[in-house]
Structure 1
Amino acid sequence: MALCFFSRILCFLLHSAPFLSLTVGAVYDHILFPNQTLVIGQTLVSQNHVFEMGFFSPGKSSNRFLGIWYKSTPDVVAWVANRNHPITAHQAASFMISGNRSLVISSAKSIIWSVNSSRTSTNINPVLQLLDSGNLVLVDNMVEEGYLWQSFDYPTDTCLQGMQFTDGADSGVEKYLRSWRNADDPSPGDYILRIENKGLPDLVTLRGTTKRYRLGKWNGLFFGGGPRFPNAMYNVLVVFKQDRMISAKELDDSPAVTRITLDPSGTMTRHTLNAQRHKWNRAFTVPQDTCDEYGICGPNGICKSRTNSPIRCQCFKGFAPKFQSYWDLQDWSGGCTRIKPLNCYGGDGFVKVGGVKYPDMLSFWLNRNMSLSECKAECLKNCSCTAYANPFITNGGSGCLMWFNELIDTKELSAADSKQNIYIRMPVSELDLSTGLEDEKENKRPMKLILISMASGVFISAFINGGILFMARLKRQVKSKNEDLELTVIKMETIVQATNNFSTENMIGVGGFGPVYKGNMPSGEEIAVKRLSRSSHQGLEEFRNEVMVIAKLQHKNLVKLLGCCIEEDERMLIYEYLENKSLDLLVFDDGRKTVLTWPMRYDIIMGIARGLLYLHHDSRLKIIHRDLKTSNILLDRHLTPKISDFGLARIFEEDQALARTKRVIGTFGYMAPEYAIDGKYSVKSDIFGLGVVLLEIISGKKNRGYEDTNHNVNLLGHAWLLWKENKCLELMDGCLRKTFRECEVKRCIQVGLLCVQKYADDRPIMSLVVSMLGSNAAVLPEPKEPGFFIQRSSSPPGSSTSPSFKSENTITITDLEAR
């Protein structure tokens, strides 16, 4: 093999001049030698004419990129070199091996793109080869094994046969696919396809840090939700090291020509080539259907892709939809909750659910050697264990996998995958059920707390704190509502145990309501406990308001209220615990903000907008939040935003447009002018706060206290002036330069400015805000001057000159309380 290779090189050299100069349109053989130059219009073709390499323009773009494509189907690009560095239409460019053994794309005297060899070469003149596998390799003919550099180490959006996915935990080199931005732009897009090693390997698609799809955990033979292999058309080699999957690749000896792609929408597709027709066919895609969307059925739900019904989600037996009204509208994100609680001490058993893609391993325990019976016994010993299964289907099933807390992203598979069975923990009273699924319209028995009980509990608190007049008002409100609250009462002793007796180590924050503690429930569930401060004058009112308002609201972008505790003089609210705390701790921290790429910030912006749309338009109650700010946006483990703190929220009647108060409470920097000055509030007040939050997320700067040396105005004024000067991208946080999408950033800035316009009537409603944020095609109006457009004095530091508010309103309310 090596002799043949040297003969080809020698033959080529004998018939070639030392410095070749090819005309435009000429085609090289599969080898490029030092001092040869590939220019626009020239290509390198693999030995058997399978692949071709050269400069190309994708789609409708006039920019050029160096890439590799299939010669028989030139529109199918397999690899791009300079995906971050396009060559403009009027720019001449060339590609060559430089003297220091680097690969270089240059224009005039500037270098557009370059890579260095990862290995030392003993040869003065290594050569570049385009192989029939599609691999571009830098070869030292003095070394028979390995390459100095290869394109297979740097995949773009396509995985070819022989190319491997690699988990770089040990080597530091990770190989994964990253989508194009769109069909006209091969620069890195929003989606990544990679190996995830968490307990058991999985192949997952991520958008930023948010999981969108997963193929299924490794079951000993293949990924548990994907196609079986090896088979006649699909042979994959996987390599493990200490139980971690360090690489996976499709072998190039398959009888079919295949490739795997990750498209700009995040869809993973395996294609096969019909060589006679020069046509690619789709052999397998993820997502195949709705059921592949991560967590589509919420906690404790299973997605059934084999049903002909549009209702894809069902609850496991012993569970019922948590929010039946949403479930009926095919919004299953709230998932399912147990009908009857577990009895840890000898009163539980298990229901088998057969043929499933296992739930994601978010909280788990894994033993690779246990039998299934040993696994069951181990699960019964742990009160937090909610399900168990054999992780591996080899040898009839082996090992022990236990899940704790809720079961997320379970999918029904075909009958052929019946070996993947999960056993879900149930109280004994539920074990007479014949199967492991619950119809979504059965057993609707949510735990309820009658408002009279809540009122009497709050009455005790009011009496102790001298709030008898307040209680009378609360009773009238309770009587007028005449409804039940679906809220769980949690015992004081349980909260004390969960928070380690309210230790300072468990305290995670303090607000106007009082301190907030992190807790761990006996079930293993993490909670956040808001404890009413006995010295708080606003806390009791906020407590009542939050119970009355948020207990009726359920949306994935609103913080979830799990229950309350009312004993003696203690008043506490128990929420889901959100790992990443509040948005302000990330977006305003110079050391931490870099983790928030533009796609992540855009997802956060859209999530906040959807949550506010629900409050204003889609919930059973029309809610005005009145204190929307960056610190009241909490983030879960996936950086999903959740609006929190409803202590100041107000319920509006369906046809009510405006209300007024003499007690203006809120946060400076987020209050709308009509609220801060005249005490008037409406949905447009929240929209003003949303606009401020948008501009803060984009800029990484706080509105309150912002100082700009160029415009000498606050953040809102600075953004507006930059917009008028057509320089709005200067507002963007500098750490977003490598990840931002210009059209999205500009659109978000424009929508933010529309939301903070001075006059409430000029601001858009939430349905229009969501539409404008999510649509590239919408033509947006020009924003007018923002509210509180503050022109600061040019006095030197230390002077007593106060800022002047440019506003036609001069009436103020003295009873103004900031939070």
Structure 2
Amino acid sequence: MKLIFGFLLLSASIIIIIITPTHAVDTISSDQIIRYNETIVSPLETFELGFFNPANSTNHYVGIWYKKISTGTVVWVANRNTPLTHTSGELTLTRHGVLHLRDATNGNIVWSSTNISSNPLARKPMGKLLDTGNFIIYETGDNMNQEDPIWQSFDFMTETLLPGMKQGWDLVTGIDRYFTSWKSDDDPASGEFTYRLETRGYPQLILRDGDDIKFRAGPWNGRGLSGVSNLIPNRFYNFTFVLNQKEAYYQYNLIDTSVFTRLVLQPTGRLERWLWIDDKQEWNLFLTRQNELCDQYAVCGPFGVCNIDKSPVCECLKGFEPTSLNQWKNTDWSQGCRHAIPLDCNPGEGFKKYSNLKLPDTQESWYNLSMTLVECEKMCKRNCSCTAYANSNTSGTGSGCLLWFGDLIDIRTINENGDTLYIRLSASELDSIENSRSSSAGNKIRVIIPVTFLVLIILVSICLFYRFYNKKQQQQAVVTRLTGTSGNGFQHDSENTSTSDEYLELPLFGLSTIHKATNYFSMNNKLGEGGFGPVYKGVLEDKREIAVKRLAKTSTQGLHEFKNEVISISKLQHRNLVKLLGYCIEGDEKMLIYEYMSNKGLDSFIFDKSQSELLDWSARYSIINGIARGLLYLHQDSRLRIIHRDLKAGNILLDADMNPKISDFGMARTFRGNEIEANTKRVVGTYGYMAPEYAGDGIFSIKSDVYSFGVLVLEIICGEKNRGFVYIDHYNNLIGHAWELHNEGRSLQLVDKCLVDSINISQVQRSIHIGLLCVQRYPKDRPTMTSVIMMLGSEGPLPPPKEPGFYVGKGKQDITDSSPSYGSSSNNELTISMLNGR
């Protein structure tokens, strides 16, 4: 009986074993080895992990691919840049929780997963392939560990974005999740194209070819990605965007879990959404984000808008005009558009509403997610550098604030669900737009003009013509006397590319007027003297105070400066630039007449121990911001890009209210079009303020002025000159001293002692940090003035500065025993010129 019972029990066991379904292994445990032709499979057999060999390739890789799909499409590659050339690879999970791919022929580790944990051993690590396509490494014993794994493949995506993947930043760990194209269809090595969520300014998705932007999906606006019209709700998946203190990422998730879809960055740089069609057993192209010309980044240049329904596709926004009309007519839109009437920070400036647009590039933007649109407008209007604003979230009634500074780049029209943008315009431009609207109906009514009135207009026109003709003749004579030519403009050297007599459309002062105003150039009226000649204070008959720059008869440098200053700033209008009121040319006399600055130069305050106490921290911080706004106008917002080339404390003048104004444009250089850099054999400027690449090689750009600005910031904070300052402990100049203190976390020791009772610690530390960013050795590392103003006006994290240029001071043998231990200031502010660049 027992024998029969035992036989039945054994039979039942065999039957149970036979009918019990077998499951593929979905995990790998510590020290387990996966070899070629061995795989692990996700629980529902959706994905598989193992070794694979691309078509037309002899290389071998570890990857993850679809198992349920017959094509076995690969979605992730581990050793994409370190392939195996044979099949003797071994994949293991160490007791430290690290995945190793080893070459069994020599024992070398070909690839490893990132070891997040610093612990010597993980607690029974386990690797698992999930049905999402994510491979995770976690500690066993707690299911919650799978939600917060030690490592996961989703954090290190290759060219494919799967449902549930987070494309963006983990702000706690610093992990940047982005995907990179394959080099070719048969080579999974990292290609040239990347698609990532960039967090400079308001986060946005950007596709790059190397460093060049090829496509910008636009920022999240609460409904989708601004400007991506095909990112619309559908029955297959939805999409979300998360932005908080811990994370910033874009994600899409399946609505129908039976659907297979993936977003792929192809080796050609195209972003393609694919959908699996089960009936056809093939992938179907669902959509692509680069369909048309207007999808190309910045195709219409600054302030240009791309409209795919028009031909040509580019046009200027209302209130703007082509920067170069000839190039625009020839469909070269690279220079974009500019304000028809330049901004001058006038209180009457306002904003025009533009609808159905893709929001501009947000790299030079600032955002606040809780502000209202009314608060947003007020903040933008208070900041003269703010060019536009919009809601950051346009869903519902709208919320949040986005501010733009500088040029508006990569705008296009969107026929449906486009965003609304409010762009800053001058008061007169706003009035003209309003008047054109109100008069459009009246223009349709025919008006009969009386013959007598018509005759009167003709007579007045004739009189005006003769008056204008005589004035032009007079100005032409002035040009001839000034330049020694009979042409229609200045006679230029190699450093000035273009001008015309339009630059002399300034008031012409008679010599007798200047004599009377300056009491015949009395020594009591003399304000100072430079390489160009002396400067005198004067008072006109209408009680206006002026400063007269008189060209010395013996100055060859001054003649060049005189011509260049008229060329550079005769039409510039900004509250932080000294205003040129007119000129005087009679006989051998050549003079420029400026508005008078009652508090003279910044150097007379910060470098004078008795005067420096008159400038508390609030005043100095305001001066720093004012200089930055003036430079931004020169570099970006004026009609021509102007490089000052001699920015220093002595060329920052202060008005009665201590507002800073940049002066002395005799050495300025004008850039046109897409010029961003130039080379010269005539190096001009002041030692201590010149950027390394300019002083050494004669190469200058807007980043040369940024370097000078950084020196100025450090001088304003410290109250010492960079040139002549030597710190006895390390023999560095002011820049080097600031660099050493910053690295040691002692930046506040740089502050002028007279500021101790008035400083705002946060502002001072931030200003020193920004100053060091500006004086970095290489121009590409220095910020633009747009970024500087944003950094000064915000409280967010700043990038760490790299080593500055020109920070080593004198050697020990050059320091006399009488040198002070903190530093010494030299009175020598020699302006140099005619140096041959290497």
Report the TM-score range of the alignment, normalised by the length of the smaller protein.
0.5 to 0.7
Query: Which stretch shows the higher mean deviation, 98-107 or 73-82?
Result: 98-107
Within the candidate set 621, 628, 633, 1:525 is matched to 633
Aligned to 2:501: 450
Deviation at 1:55, TM superposition (A): 1.9
How do residues 373-772 of structure 1 correspond to structure 2 at under 5 angstroms?
A: 373-417=374-418, 419-433=419-433, 449-450=500-501, 453=504, 464=552, 466=554, 489-490=571-572, 494-495=576-577, 501=601, 519-522=627-630, 524-525=632-633, 527=635, 528-531=643-646, 554-555=673-674, 558=677, 576-577=702-703
Deviations 1:622-653 (A, max 9, x none): xxxxxxxxx998788599xxxxxxxxxxxxxx
Change (3 A) 1:228 1:138: same
Secondary structure of the structure 2 residue equivalent to 1:325? helix
Contact 2:644 2:667 in 1 (8 A): no
Contact 1:351 1:436 in 2 (8 A): no
Deviation at 1:80, TM superposition (A): 0.6
Contact 1:159 1:261 in 2 (8 A): yes
Aligned to 1:112: 110
Change (3 A) 1:222 1:125: same
Deviations 1:492-529 (A, max 9, x none): 9954599995769999xxxxxxxxx9953459536441
Change (3 A) 1:412 1:272: same
Q: Which amino acid aligns with 1:555?
A: N
Using the alignment, how far apart are the partners of 1:520 and 1:218 within structure 2?
Answer: 30
Q: Which amino acid aligns with 2:204?
A: D
Does residue 233 (structure 1) correspond to residue 236 (structure 2)? The answer is: yes
Deviation at 1:135, TM superposition (A): 1.9
Does residue 54 (structure 1) correspond to residue 50 (structure 2)? The answer is: yes
Aligned to 2:152: 150
Aligned to 2:279: 276
Does residue 267 (structure 1) correspond to residue 355 (structure 2)? The answer is: no
Change (3 A) 1:580 1:101: same
Deviation at 1:470, TM superposition (A): 12
Uncovered stretches (5+) of structure 1, i.e. residues with no partner: 1-10, 16-26, 438-446, 479-483, 508-516, 534-542, 562-572, 583-591, 593-630, 640-814
Contact 2:123 2:140 in 1 (8 A): no
Deviation at 1:198, TM superposition (A): 4.5
Secondary structure of the structure 2 residue equivalent to 1:520? helix
Contact 1:201 1:245 in 2 (8 A): no
Q: Which amino acid aligns with 2:132?
A: S
Does residue 213 (structure 1) correspond to residue 264 (structure 2)? The answer is: no
Using the alignment, how far apart are the partners of 2:778 and 2:93 within structure 1?
Answer: 55
Using the alignment, how far apart are the partners of 2:42 and 2:33 within structure 1?
Answer: 17
Deviation at 1:78, TM superposition (A): 0.5
Q: Which amino acid aligns with 2:644?
A: V
Using the alignment, how far apart are the partners of 2:784 and 2:532 within structure 1?
Answer: 40
Q: Which amino acid aligns with 1:413?
A: I
Secondary structure of the structure 1 residue equivalent to 2:276? strand
Change (3 A) 1:632 1:28: closer
Secondary structure of the structure 2 residue equivalent to 1:200? coil
Secondary structure of the structure 1 residue equivalent to 2:198? strand
Change (3 A) 1:544 1:73: farther
Contact 1:176 1:193 in 2 (8 A): yes
Contact 1:352 1:435 in 2 (8 A): no
Secondary structure of the structure 2 residue equivalent to 1:299? coil
Contact 1:494 1:521 in 2 (8 A): yes
Aligned to 1:66: 62
Identical-residue share of aligned pairs (%): 28
Change (3 A) 1:177 1:560: farther
Query: Which stretch shows the higher mean deviation, 363-372 or 48-57?
Result: 363-372
Contact 1:526 1:577 in 2 (8 A): no
Change (3 A) 1:253 1:33: farther
Secondary structure of the structure 2 residue equivalent to 1:88? coil
Q: Which amino acid aligns with 2:674?
A: H
Using the alignment, how far apart are the partners of 1:222 and 1:430 within structure 2?
Answer: 32
Deviation at 1:239, TM superposition (A): 3.5
Secondary structure of the structure 2 residue equivalent to 1:302? strand
Change (3 A) 1:277 1:470: same
Change (3 A) 1:69 1:369: closer
Deviation at 1:321, TM superposition (A): 1.1
Using the alignment, how far apart are the partners of 2:647 and 2:409 within structure 1?
Answer: 33
Using the alignment, how far apart are the partners of 1:578 and 1:292 within structure 2?
Answer: 34
Secondary structure of the structure 1 residue equivalent to 2:262? strand
Within the candidate set 83, 95, 103, 1:86 is matched to 83
Deviation at 1:369, TM superposition (A): 4.5
When the two chains are superposed, the root-mean-square deviation of aligned CA atoms in Å is 5.5
Using the alignment, how far apart are the partners of 2:178 and 2:436 within structure 1?
Answer: 37
Change (3 A) 1:492 1:377: closer
Query: Which stretch shows the higher mean deviation, 225-234 or 172-181?
Result: 225-234
Deviations 1:247-298 (A, max 9, x none): 3322244453221222334433332222222322333433343333333322
Deviation at 1:344, TM superposition (A): 4.3
Using the alignment, how far apart are the partners of 1:240 and 1:411 within structure 2?
Answer: 25
Uncovered stretches (5+) of structure 2, i.e. residues with no partner: 1-13, 438-497, 510-530, 534-548, 580-596, 608-624, 636-642, 649-664, 681-698, 709-738, 740-776, 786-833
Change (3 A) 1:216 1:435: farther
Q: Which has the larger radius of gyration?
A: 2
Change (3 A) 1:241 1:396: same
Secondary structure of the structure 1 residue equivalent to 2:237? coil
Deviations 1:26-55 (A, max 9, x none): x96544456654333344443444323222
Contact 1:200 1:218 in 2 (8 A): no
Secondary structure of the structure 1 residue equivalent to 2:219? coil
Change (3 A) 1:274 1:121: farther
Secondary structure of the structure 1 residue equivalent to 2:417? helix
Contact 1:224 1:357 in 2 (8 A): yes
Contact 1:392 1:398 in 2 (8 A): yes
Contact 1:229 1:236 in 2 (8 A): no
Secondary structure of the structure 2 residue equivalent to 1:167? strand
Deviations 1:645-672 (A, max 9, x none): xxxxxxxxxxxxxxxxxxxxxxxxxxxx
Q: Which amino acid aligns with 2:191?
A: G
